[in-house]
Structure formats: C-alpha cells, structure tokens
C-alpha cells in the first residue's frame, strides 16, 4: 500500500508541473534568418527575450518602425493562416482560466491582445480574450483571464493568438509585450496535456 501511495504521489507531482501548451514557456527555438519559436507561426518581428519569468527565455512581440512614424505589430499564432501547415494544439483539459506572465510598455492608445479559442470537433465552444494597455513598469505581472464557455466544456483543440497590437492597421508608436509561462488553469491548478 505504501508503494502504491508513493507511486500515486509521484505521478500527481509530475502531472501537476506538466506544461499543457507546447512551448508555452517559450524555451524551444529554431533559427531561420532569426530565432523563431517552435510550434508557432510568427509575423512581424517577434523575438527571443532573456528577460523571463520562468526558464531562460520568453517571447517579445513589439511594434516596430517601418518608415518614419509608421509602426507595424508583431504576432504569433498556433494556426498558419497562409499555408495551413499548423492548425491548433490538441487539448482535452478542463480549464477555467487562460494564464500568463507579461512585461510590457505600450505606446499611448495602443493595446496588446491575447486570445484562446477552444474547439470540439471543429466547433468553437469557448474563448478567453484580453487587451493589455499601458506599462507594467519593468515587472512581470501575472494575468488570469476567465474562459467563457458556450455550452460544452470538452474541447479537443485550442487556438492561440498573441499580438502586440489589438487592432488592424498601424500602431501609434513603439511598444512591446514580453510573454512567458502561457498555460491554462482550473481553480489555481495548471491543467495537464
């Protein structure tokens, strides 16, 4: 009985610390012309940041100047809108919150945007969305965004989008958001794969 109890505790400890979003801590990177995040599709100039909350790296999405006084945004998705090679992460947890850490300094009037969309058999069944504005004054702040469910709470996949600008068009100025340890929770407990 003691052996079974020890095995169960060991299993629960491993499951509790398991990461449920592939590369949600942004530790795994490839190189093309620059560092790119594994398992994600990126647009603009997202880059690896050594300022992180957990592990060695986080991801920074920034608004960057393309011509005098014209700023574009950066974004990452787990869906490839152009080639269709990446299409959501498999996911069957029972989350109540989208959780992440963010360090940011955005231009006045700009806001960053993070979104999760949960699917069951191709049908959208829930989501979590947040706009982040202003500055975190150089610190990582923890965000826990409630998930809204539209009936069923049994997803089989999840869409994730993160942008340094919440709307289409140009940004008002330079700004950035650094995101780390993106995951889902159910009453304060990280959900598992």
User: Mean pLDDT for each 10-residue chunk of the chain (193 residues)?
Assistant: 45 49 84 71 91 94 94 94 86 95 97 97 97 98 98 94 94 97 93 70
Whole-prediction pTM = 0.82
- The pLDDT, as a whole number, for residue 22 is 84
Whether residue 125 contacts residue 92, with contact meaning beta carbons closer than 8 Å, is answered with no
Q: Length of the chain, please?
A: 193
- The pLDDT, as a whole number, for residue 37 is 79
Q: What is the DSSP letter of 52?
A: -
- Beta-carbon neighbour count of residue 173 at 10 Å? 14
Q: What is the DSSP letter of 147?
A: P
Separation between Cα atoms, residue 100 and residue 37, nearest integer Å: 17
- The pLDDT, as a whole number, for residue 101 is 98
> Which helix H or strand E contains 4, and what residues bound it?
helix 2-16
> Both tokens of residue 78?
């787990």
Region for residue 164 given its phi and psi (left: phi exceeds 0; alpha: psi -120 to 50; beta: otherwise) = alpha
- The pLDDT, as a whole number, for residue 27 is 87
- The pLDDT, as a whole number, for residue 94 is 92
- The pLDDT, as a whole number, for residue 184 is 96
* End-to-end Cα separation, the chain, in angstroms: 28
- The pLDDT, as a whole number, for residue 13 is 45
Residue spans of beta strands (DSSP E) within 8-73: 29-31, 35-37, 41-43, 47-49, 58-67, 70-72
- Own/partner contacts of 81-86, CB < 8 Å, gap of 24 or more, are 81/41, 86/39, 86/40, 86/41
């Amino acid at each position: 009985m003691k052996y079974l109890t020890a095995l169960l505790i060991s299993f629960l400890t491993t499951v509790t610390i398991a990461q449920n979003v592939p590369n949600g801590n942004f530790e795994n990177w490839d190189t093309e012309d620059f560092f790119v995040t594994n398992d994600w599709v990126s647009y603009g100039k997202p880059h690896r940041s050594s300022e992180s909350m957990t592990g060695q790296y986080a991801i920074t999405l920034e608004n960057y100047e393309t011509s005098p006084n014209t700023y574009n945004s950066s974004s990452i998705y787990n869906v490839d809108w152009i080639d269709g090679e990446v299409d959501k992460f498999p996911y069957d947890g029972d989350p109540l919150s989208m959780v992440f850490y963010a360090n940011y300094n955005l231009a006045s009037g700009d806001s960053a945007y993070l979104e999760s969309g949960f699917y069951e058999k191709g049908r959208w069944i829930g989501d979590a969305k947040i706009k982040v504005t202003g500055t975190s004054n150089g610190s990582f702040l923890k965000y826990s965004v409630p998930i809204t469910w539209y009936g069923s709470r049994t997803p089989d996949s999840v869409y994730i989008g993160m942008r340094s600008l919440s709307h289409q068009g140009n940004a008002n100025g330079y700004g950035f958001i650094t995101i780390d340890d993106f995951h889902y929770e159910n009453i304060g407990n990280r959900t598992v794969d």
